[in-house]
Structures are given as structure tokens and as C-alpha cells.
Amino acid sequence: MRGVAGPAMIDAASREVWLHRALFVAIALGLLFWRLLPLPTPMMSDCGESAAWCRFTVWLMRMPGPDLMLCVIFAWMMRRPDYLPVILIAAVVLLEDMILMRPPGLWTAIVLIASEFVRVRVALTRELNFGVEWLLVAGLMLAMLVIYRLAFAMVMVPQAGFGFAMLQVVWSVIFYPLVVFLSRYVLDLHKPAMGEIDAYGRRM
């Protein structure tokens, strides 16, 4: 279906693009919704004495989890950058900034720069095998964290400890292969194959 060009197929191709964009917005809202849920957070005082396993799980649940939004953006950007126009990324991340009580605009700017960095180099990332891609994403996430914290330090806004914030990057890097796997096998989001053409009939 993908290899054939023609007026009817162009409609189908662009419909697929818009379908994936709507899917991205739905995933973003879903992740936001999940984070806003007022679930009971466990506290250390609830564990009895000498309950090391209980204390470990409480500590684990109070630590930050992966930033799945960022993983999704990178995974999709490496494979099909045309599904994520700049304005869509900016709108979604800005909404997240506002709702999650971050200083609005800073993380959005950093995510925009990082995603453009990947988008411009799509010819490179298309050739990478998964291991190198994973390393690249890990390096990017770490650089983003460092710039984010530097910006906080420069304008003298109080922030959480570095180890605490680093945990979020570690979890995101660990969850990145899972996000890629899910995108590939559930959403069928793969790098364009040889000879595949896009909505205008050009080779991708």
C-alpha cells in the first residue's frame, strides 16, 4: 500500500500523518492524566520496624519515574519526524509545563532544540543501529538535564537535588527501548524503508 502513488493514495498517506499526530496528542494527554491522578502516596511512617522491603518500595515509589513524554518524542523523531511538527511539540510540552508546575517555557525551549537537533540529523539517525541510537538519546537527555539545571542556577531559582533529578534521566534512558518497542510493534512506527515515498510522492 505504501509503495503505490496516485491521487487516492496521497489522501490516505496524509490521513495517516494526521492520524499519528492525533495519536501523539492523545498519548500526551494520557500521560498527563496519569501523572495528575491523586493516588495514595506511601510514606515511610506507614512501614513497621525492620520492614526493609516495605521501606525500599516506599522509597522507590517516592522517587521520580521516567519522563515518558520525552522518550516518545525522541522515539518518534528518530523514525518519522514528519509526524511531529514543531508547533505540536511546543504546544504539548508547554501545556505539560503549565500543569506540572515547572517554570513555563524553559523545558519547552530545551525540548524544541533537542528535537530539532535530531530532526536535522535524520539522515544520520536513520542509519544507526539501535544501540548507538540509545546512546545518542541517553547523551541528549543528560545534556538537556544539565542545561535545565544550569538555567535554574543562573536565574537563582531553588531546585531539587541533582541526584534526585538524575534519577529521572536514568529511568527515562532505561525505559527508552520499551517505548521504541511499543511504538514499533503496537503503532507500527518504523523508519522509512528503502524506496518508500511520502505524501507528495517523493522518496523519504
Partner 1 sequence: MARNRIDPEDFHRPLRRVLVAVLVLLMLGLFFLWRIDSPRVERFRSALVDRFVPSFSWAMAPVTWAAGVVDDYQSYSRLYEQNQQLREELRQMKAWKEAALQLEQKNARLLDLNHVRLDPMLTHVTGVVLADSGSPFRQSVLLNVGARDGIRDGWATMDGIGLVGRISGVGQQTSRVILLTDSNSRVPVTVQPSGQRSIMSGDNSDLPPLDFLEDLDEVRPGDRVVTSGDGGMFPAGLLVGSVVLGTDKRLRVSLAADYQRLEFLRVLRSHDLTPITDAGALIAQPPLQGPPKPPTTPEPASEPEGGTNG
Q: Which residues contact partner 1 by CB under 8 A? A: 32-33, 35-46, 62-65, 86-87, 90, 94-95, 98-106, 108-109, 112-113, 116, 151, 155, 157-161, 164-165, 168, 200, 202
CB 88 within 8 A of CB 111: no
Q: What does the alpha-carbon distance between residue 90 and residue 43 come to, in Å, rounded to a whole number?
A: 36
Beta carbon nearer to partner 1, 20 or 102:
102
- Quote the least distance from Cβ 133 to partner 1, whole Å: 22
Judged by beta carbon, residue 155 or residue 186, the one nearer partner 1 is 155
* Residue 10 zone, left/alpha/beta (φ > 0; ψ -120 to 50; rest): alpha
Q: How far is the CB of 116 from partner 1 (least distance, A)?
A: 5
Q: Rounded to 5 degrees, what are φ and ψ at 203?
A: -70, 140
List the one residue out of 146, 148, 166 whose CA is nearest residue 157: 148
Cβ proximity of 144 and 69 under 8 Å: no
**Residue whose CB is less far from partner 1, 1 or 154:** 154
Report in angstroms how near the CB of residue 172 gets to partner 1 at its nearest.
13
If the CB atoms of residues 95 and 182 are measured against partner 1, the closer one turns out to be: 95
